[in-house]
Structure 1
Amino acid sequence: MAKRVLVVEDNELNLKLFCDLLRAHGFVVEPVRDGREVVDKARNFVPNLIIMDIQLPHVSGLELIEQIKQDGQLKIIPIMAVTAYAGKGDEDRILTAGAEAYVSKPISVGRFVESVQSVLQR
């Protein structure tokens, strides 16, 4: 059975790239453009993985990661943060918030897919 991935990304080009890459590798993908919809979408879609942009309008990806990890139903879903944040300490903050993995933008296609597969194998 194909693994399900919820992709949270407000940039249309990045969203299309991530979704196309994942679909090409056999994943079932649900795109989410608005962070305010993430929790409801995750409950309805029941993903095996959430890919989370950190810089979102309206709500921070870090806040969403923390919210998901405090939710009894959703906390078991691994989260891979994908962000342009590349400053010192950003990876630590993201992992401390509850993400299982971190990939910086611009992504390397190979590393992105490897990271997704690695997180799902844990």
Structure 2
Amino acid sequence: MARILVVEDNPANMKLVLFILQKGGHDVLQAIDAEAGLRAAREQQPDLILMDVQLPGMDGLEATRLLKSDPDTRRIPVIALTAMAMRGDEEHVRAAGCDGYIAKPIDYKALLMHVERALAQ
């Protein structure tokens, strides 16, 4: 069982991701914006972060850049959750430091596959 931080501002998406991860046996932490996500990452040191890209205020890519530049959080894998599914978007999120990319709408099998792959590294 891993501790996974989900940073997501959409209540329906948060509920879905929580359900999938908890059914997969994971302990889930929640944050509804980037600032709360950064705080939780530093304080809780999760095994993995699922980061929505489009967040109010600071976006998820900037939050990821901050996490990856901080010695206390840089080792935590970050998977982007995003509605951006155009050509080049995956490269854009990876350039920000994300270790993976999941397009919305979220497919539960794909989510669990990406989570297990990230945790195994």
Name the structure 1 match of 2:94.
95
Letter in 1 for 2:54: Q
Aligned-partner residue type, residue 34 of structure 1: D
Identify the residue that residue 9 of structure 1 maps to in structure 2. 8
| Cα distance in 1 between the residues matched to 2:72 and 2:102 | 25
| Correspondence for 2:81 | 82
Q: Which amino acid aligns with 1:22?
A: L
RMSD of the alignment, in Å?
0.8
> SS of the residue aligned with 1:30?
strand
TM-score by length of 2: 0.97
Structure 1, unpaired ranges of 5+: none
SS of equivalent residue, structure 2 residue 29: strand
CA distance in 2, matches of 1:44, 1:25: 24
What is the TM-score of this pair, normalised by structure 1?
A: 0.96
Q: Distance in 2 between matches of 1:114 and 1:26?
A: 14
Count of residue pairs brought into register by the alignment: 121
Cα displacement (A) at 1:109:
1.0
User: How far is 1:36 from its partner?
Assistant: 1.4
Q: Report matched runs for 1:61-72 at 5 Å.
A: 61-72=60-71
Q: For 1:31-61, what per-residue CA distance to the aligned partner results, in whole angstroms no more than 9, with x for missing partners?
A: 1012111111111211000000000001111
Shift >3 Å, 4+ stretches = none
SS of the aligned residue for 2:84 comes to coil
Deviations 1:85-113 (A, max 9, x none): 11221110101111111010011111111
Give distance in 1, aligned partners of 2:85 and 2:24: 27
